[in-house]
Amino acid sequence: MPVQFTDNVSPLVKRDILNLEKKIGVFAEGEMTEEHFRKFRLSRGVYGQRQPGVQMIRIKLPYGRITADQLIRIADISDKYATGNLHATTRQDIQLHFVKLADTPQLWADLEDARITLREACGNTVRNVTGSAKAGIDPDEPFDITPYAYSIFDYLLRNPICQEMGRKFKIALSSSEKDNAYGYMHDVGLVPRLNEEGQRGFKVMIGGGLGAQPYMAETAYEFLEEEKVIPFIEGCIRVFDRYGERTRRHKARMKFLLQDIGLEEFLRRVEEERLALKNKTYRINTQIRGTAESLAADLKFAPTENGLVTSGQLIQENADPQFQAWLKTNVFEQKQKGWYAVQLRILLGDMPSDKARALASLVKQYAGDDIRVTVNQGYLLRFVKPENLPALYAGLHALGLADPGFDSTADITTCPGTDTCNLAISSSYGITRVLEKMMKTEFPDLIYNDDIKIKISGCMNGCGQHSVANIGFHSSSVKNGAYVIPALQVLLGGGFNGKGEGLFGDKVVKVPTKRGPDALRLLLRDYEANAFDGEYYSDYYARQGKNYFYSMLKPLADLKTLSQADYTDWDHTEQFVTEIGIGECASVMIDLVATTLTEAAEKLSWAQEALAENRWADAIYHTYNVFITGAKGSLMTKDINTNTQHGIVSDFDKNFLGEEGFHDQEGDFKALVFSINKNEPTEAFALEFKAKAESFIEKVKAYRERQIEQDGLPELQELAIAKDS
């Protein structure tokens, strides 16, 4: 059945969705490589699961904002196409699991009807722009970062500069100097500041990242004026696209490029791109909907300081200890005096669709229509009247959404692990449930401690952000003779210290997974007994030193004392084995060079379309990618593989020098392609650049035809094409 659209879906988005539907068909017929299709579907938010034949759908929610009606729409879609569960992520997205590939175009269309997108939620693109959930209501903020986060998202969505980078690119905006969006671990991290004249701007950090080799972002600017932020980000992306690694995946993040060339050289290259930028400055529209100011203007209730009950009074007047704990840990007064924000602690980040709909109903009744997904997988409600807090609590409590201890030690952040992820090693969900239950029973007061953060990932890649936890774990395994045991790598000392500095944790020891509760129990009791009054955990770790904690935990790592239970994972009964989930595969024969040249032709059509719409900068960048893709295809005919776009251009320049139809002087091709950043993005240059690209592609095709005529069609490459249903 063809995809059904409503009038709310724009022609541009309709074409996007129909293109996804078309590519699914082409892939199913074996006419597209698995790699090309994977690259395509990931940039449309469709991610292969551990289980064959089903997909995870990642819904992109800029800075985590969602309305009550949008939450209802996602819940309805989860019931229709997925499992009836909404999984909140550490990047403020919502994920749906176990979706059939064939259903993804209509699912996307149903979301776009509610102004929600999947575009560039996964893949080698700019991922969701995260922002402090407290933005606009944070008592510590100099100004609301909401319109800045939205503008960055909007500027980069479908932007040709970031559609096919070597790896993903992540941006975060914190609301204050506390860096509550973890800007220090992002490719670009922004912290709002005011200069001495009261002008708005940002501290800019670049090149941070997690994974197996975490890297602390370096400060590019202590203060960059607000109108220069988006052009600077565009320059960073262009440099990363041009010079970033593309073959060795584990070295393909911007942090490695920054380490290789240094901050000074990186910033020089960013400046070198300035001439070609679409906008040299970019003014932010601070009046967009979604700001706290616009939301407050929509509310009929105008708070005053006189005659209102406060949360402190509510604590004194209500004898229910659970309600009192909830008020202390999950509720805070906004910077708008008289208004309160309510935070929801969500186990594993999972919310059933019926609860999501009921939550939306409570929001409509008691809060402003602005829900934020938080970076610790919870939700934040805004603009609640203090006198409505008891009724809101009662409604949340009935749904099981009023557990106290939001973002406390007892509130663990975790990724889905082996429940759905291909890369996971052991069950992060299982160990999280056990640890939270243990802390609730043995350390009930931890709901009041928000200085120690515990985070868990299903592998070393860090979706659960274990490296920036004070106490972090990532799933692993250890061998014991012929058997393999599920294990946890323990990391300590990450997160924030007492000075507010962001840190990465140290790997201390690896223990069998079933001993995870014993490890955490030891760590918490040791801290209770030996930390100074008010000492932050990361400061305590630094004072005691890594060896102190290694000696404490080493007995738990002793494989000589294993029991039978250690050979099974949490939430499982069968003996543990390490495995990577794969899809069903069928071998097909594909001419990779022809496929690459077809891709170049498609990019040429995008350049033509941008020209027709007077989008000169976009047309130029699409044209640039025509040169890159055509050169890459040509180099493949000579079995030359190159790691970067800059390398592709250099290798083509050398290896096709003097070839019939191509350049006769070394450096000519390089000069042609890299003229992209030597010219303003004008109509004249766009037309000239595209004409040269058309001529170049014709020469590449002619070269390929001569090669086939002379040598015959080279042996086609056998590839595994996943036949997902």
- The 3-class SS string of 159-181 reads CHHHCCCCCCECEEECCCCCCCC
Same domain, yes or no, for 357 and 461?
Answer: no
Identity of residue 168? K
pLDDT confidence band for 569 (50 / 70 / 90): confident
> Can you give the pLDDT at residue 715?
46
Average pLDDT over residues 170-196: 96
- The tens digit of pLDDT for each residue in 106-135 reads 999 999 999 999 999 999 999 999 999 999
Q: What is the pLDDT of residue 320?
A: 87
Strand partners, 507: 491
Among 24-28, 291-295, 471-475, the minimum mean pLDDT is found in 291-295
Asked if 284 contacts 227 with a C-beta cutoff of 8 angstroms, the reply is yes
pTM: predicted TM-score of the whole model, two decimal places: 0.91
Asked if residue 532 and residue 446 are part of one domain, the reply reads yes
Statement to judge: residues 103 and 163 lie in one domain: no
Identify whether 676 is part of a domain. yes
> Which CATH number characterizes residue 68's domain?
3.90.480.20
Q: Percent of the chain beyond pLDDT 70?
A: 93
Residues in contact with 2: Cβ distance below 8 Å, sequence separation at least 6, in sequence order: none
pLDDT at 563 over 60: yes
Please tell me the predicted confidence (pLDDT) of residue 661.
81
How many angstroms separate the first and last alpha carbons of the chain? 15
Tell me: pLDDT of 417 over 90: no
Range ranked top by mean pLDDT from 6-10, 298-302, 557-561: 6-10
| 361 pLDDT more than 70 | yes
pLDDT average, residue stretch 391-408: 97
How many angstroms separate the CA atoms of 591 and 31, rounded?
Answer: 10
Residues 193 and 175: their CA atoms lie apart, in Å, by 9
Q: Token match 């500095």: residue?
A: 501
Which residue in 240, 245, 244, 227 sits closest to 273, CA to CA? Answer: 240
Regarding beta strands 200-206 and 188-194, do their DSSP bridges make them parallel or antiparallel, or are they unpaired? antiparallel
CA angle, residues 466, 470, 475, in degrees to nearest 5: 30
Considering the domain architecture, whether residues 430 and 532 belong to the same structural domain is answered as yes
Least confident of 212-221, 409-418, 423-432, 714-723: 714-723
Q: Which of 112, 116, 113, 106 is nearest to 82 (CA)?
A: 106
Band (pLDDT 50/70/90 cuts) for residue 556 is very high
| 469 in any annotated domain | yes
Q: Are 725 and 102 in contact (CB under 8 A)?
A: yes
CB 87 within 8 A of CB 378: no
- From CA 127, how far away is CA 124, in angstroms rounded? 8
Residue type, 242: R
| Residue 595 and residue 708 in one domain | yes
Q: What's 190-256 look like in SS3? A: EEEEECCCCCEEEEEEECCECCCCCECCEEEEEEEEHHHHHHHHHHHHHHHHHHCCCCCHHHCCHHH
| DSSP single-letter state for residue 656 | T
Residues 462 and 507 both lie in one domain: yes
Whether 607 and 687 map to the same domain: the answer is yes
Residue bearing tokens 């794969």 = 582
The pLDDT, as a whole number, for residue 693 is: 94
Q: How many domains does the chain have?
A: 5
Instruction: Give residue 724's pLDDT.
Output: 35
Q: What is the average pLDDT value for the chain, to the nearest integer?
A: 90
CATH number of the domain enclosing 261: 3.30.413.10
pLDDT band (50, 70, 90) for residue 579: low
Give which of 149, 157, 152, 175 is closest to 63, Cα–Cα.
149
Question: Does a structural domain hold residue 2?
Answer: no
pLDDT tier for residue 96 given thresholds of 50, 70 and 90: very high
Residue 613 lies in a domain: yes
> 3-state SS of the chain: helix, strand, coil percent to 5?
45, 15, 35
Q: Are 100 and 725 in contact (CB under 8 A)?
A: yes
The residue range of the domain holding 697 is 586-722
Question: Are residues 272 and 235 part of one domain?
Answer: yes
Whether the predicted pLDDT of 16 surpasses 50: yes
75 close to 356: Cβ distance less than 8 angstroms: yes
Contact 720, 27 (CB under 8 A): no
In a domain, 288, yes or no: no
Task: Check whether 517 has a pLDDT greater than 60.
Answer: yes
Q: Is 338 helix (H, G, I), strand (E, B) or coil?
A: coil
Cα-Cα-Cα-Cα dihedral of 420, 421, 424, 427, to 10°?
A: -20
Average pLDDT over residues 396-424: 91
Q: What is the pLDDT of residues 488-505, one digit of tens each?
A: 999 999 999 988 889 999
Find the mean pLDDT for residues 639-656: 90
Confidence of residue 287 (pLDDT cuts 50, 70, 90): confident
pLDDT of residue 722: 38
Burial class from Cβ neighbours inside 10 Å (0-12, 13-18, 19+) for residue 398 reads: exposed
Q: Is the pLDDT of residue 422 over 80?
A: no
Answer with the residue of higher pLDDT: 580 or 535: 535
pLDDT higher than 50, residue 720: no
In a domain, 125, yes or no: no
Do residues 602 and 487 both lie within one domain?
no
Amino acid at 159: N
Is 24 in the same domain as 102?
yes
User: Do 156 and 269 belong together in one domain?
Assistant: yes
What is residue 590's predicted lDDT score, i.e. its pLDDT?
Answer: 42
3-state secondary structure of 269: helix
Q: Is residue 284 part of a domain?
A: no
Q: Are residues 559 and 419 in the same domain?
A: yes
Model pLDDT, residue 411: 95
**Domain contains 578:** no
Amino acid at the residue 312: G
The answer to whether residue 528 scores a pLDDT higher than 90 is: yes
Separation of alpha carbons 600 and 606, rounded Å: 10
Residue 691's domain is classified under what CATH number?
A: 1.20.120.330
CA distance 221 to 612: 38
Measured CA to CA, the distance from residue 509 to residue 523 in angstroms comes to 13
Distance CA 210, CA 215 (A): 6
Which residues, in sequence order, are bridge partners of residue 88?
94
Instruction: Say what the pLDDT of residue 317 is.
Output: 66
Question: From the CA atom positions of the chain, what is the Rg in Å?
Answer: 27
